[in-house]
Each structure stands twice: as C-alpha cells, then as structure tokens.
Amino acid sequence: MSDHSDLFEELQALATEQRNPNSTHIGTASTEEILRVINTEDHLVPIAVRRELPQIAEAVEHVVEAFENGGRLFYVGAGTSGRLGVVDASECPPTFGTDPERVQGIIAGGKEAVFRSQEGAEDVSADGAQALADRGVTDDDVVCGITSSGRTPFVVGAVEHARDVIGCPTVFVTTVPRDELDVDPGVPICPVVGPEVVMGSTRMKSGTAQKLVLNMITTAAMVRRGKVYENMMVDLQRTSEKLVERSIRTVMMVTGVDYDEADAVLDRCDGHVKTAIVMILADVDATEAQRRLDATDGFVRPAIEEE
C-alpha cells in the first residue's frame, strides 16, 4: 500500500474526521437552525475539558516549576492549533506583565502562517525539532504540543525531540482519545469533543477546546506565581488607555483610596500596580514596597504583611 493510501486510512479512522449525525441536514437548514446546531454541539466542549482537569493540573505543575527555575513554556502547533498557541503566548505580557520570552508560540510555517494558511508546513517532523533548536529550548523549559488530530508531524516531531533529546517535560493537547495516540505525550490532555458540525473543520469544537485548555494552563500557572491579587490582575502592563484606567481601578478596589490618590501613587512607582498596593496598604514608600515584593518573589499579600 502506498504512503498516500496509508494516510487516507489513518485520516479515515480519526475521531476528528468523522461525520456528525446531528448536523447532516445543515446544508438545507435555515440560518437559525444552523446556528442552533452549532451552539448545541459547542455545549459539549466545556464538559469534555472538565474531564481532563487532572491532566491539565499536572501540566500546570510542570509550567509552574519551569517558571520558578527561570524556564519557559513553548506552544508548538500548526494551522488553527498553532495560531491558538501564538495567541495565548502573546496575551501573557499585557495580562500578567511577563517577559515575552516566558511563553512563546511556535507555528509551522512561521509568522506568515498566523495570517495565511501554510498547510504543507506541518508535514515534516524534523522541522518541529529544528524549531525548538532555533529557540534554544533546554531541559528547564516545557514544550506543549497542540494538534487536533494527534498526528501532525511538525508537532509530534517537536514533542519527541523535546522528550528524547532535550529531556524537558512535555504536554500534548489533542481532541482524540488518549488510547488512540501514537506518540508518548508526556502529559496527555485529551478533551474528546466528538465530530465537528462540518466534518474535519477542527477550528470549531476542537479549536474551542484547545483555547480553553491553553487559557487554563497559563492562567493557573500565573495565579500560582503571584500574578494576581485575589482575582485581579496586578502585574498588567499599562500599555493602553484601557490598561491605565484598569490599573487605577484595581488600586482603588484593593486599597479603598479614591481615583486621584490611586493615580498619584501609581505615578510614583512607574505605574506598577503591585508596588502601589503595597505602598498604600503597608504605608511605605516605593523603594521599600519594591524591596518587600522582591523578598516575597512578587507575592502581594506577604509583602503587605511583612513586619
């Protein structure tokens, strides 16, 4: 049998390539009925993700440990999966004040593939390994492969290289059942969402599940690293008018001061929300507040309570 025939048989068996019996009529359905079918299927996604919480928690622990040791998180994907990794990585600096190097997204085909499909770029496993080498991935880092099908060569090649050559922890996010994986995934996160409304269109339920999982991994890891106070962003960067106002509002909500005082204190500490909170609640100047935060590894509550 030819390689093409082997691939055909492999794709035919994938859960992500099956026809959905609940949407076979959409070609002749009304607009509202099409939307109802999509919405009904979308309700299955968070349920599937919930079943994977133990595996997601294990992945978060690896990421937290990496961050504590100066390591990084690398997402590796192709197509929709790759774009989701790039998006999640790009949103960490403005949300949590992290260095852009801390969480990085690698997509098959490079930056061009973020905006325009480069489908053939995913077919060479060695390219995935090379992409990690180009980023200087070490055993202090975590590599998270993202692939709806569980078989994308670029992603599998990267994960295998990370595990066998680099020796770093690996995570594998896919929407096929765990027992159908042909790769040793490290930590397998497998929200099985069932066939798509449009057969094989994994930008839909599969993409939504992956988005939820990636949000959970980075958000939980950042919470564990003291990037929030209670449930508020306190390491955000004031890079837009919206974020400037959010910074002021956050300081007001935590400390009880009015708008003008919050704004004035933020000005005295270069707009750093954590420092402003410690300054007000511990009644110290910016230098002492920053010293306390350095001593507590950036955690606000112990910095306030330090005697």
Active site amino acids: 91, 122
Distance, CA of 205 to CA of 47 (rounded, Å): 12
* 104 three-class SS: strand
Question: Looking at the chain, which runs of residues are DSSP E strands?
Answer: 73-77, 103-107, 142-146, 170-173, 187-189, 228-229, 232-233
Distance, CA of 262 to CA of 257 (rounded, Å): 6
Q: List the structure tokens of 22.
A: 């609940």
Distance, CA of 123 to CA of 154 (rounded, Å): 6
What is the residue type of 190?
A: C
Distance, CA of 18 to CA of 12 (rounded, Å): 7
* 189 three-class SS: strand
Q: List the structure tokens of 131.
A: 């992409």
- Report yes or no: 67 and 140 within 8 Å, Cβ to Cβ: no
Three-point CA angle 155, 95, 210, nearest 5°: 30
Tell me the β-bridge partners of 75: 105, 144
Q: List the structure tokens of 6.
A: 């082997």
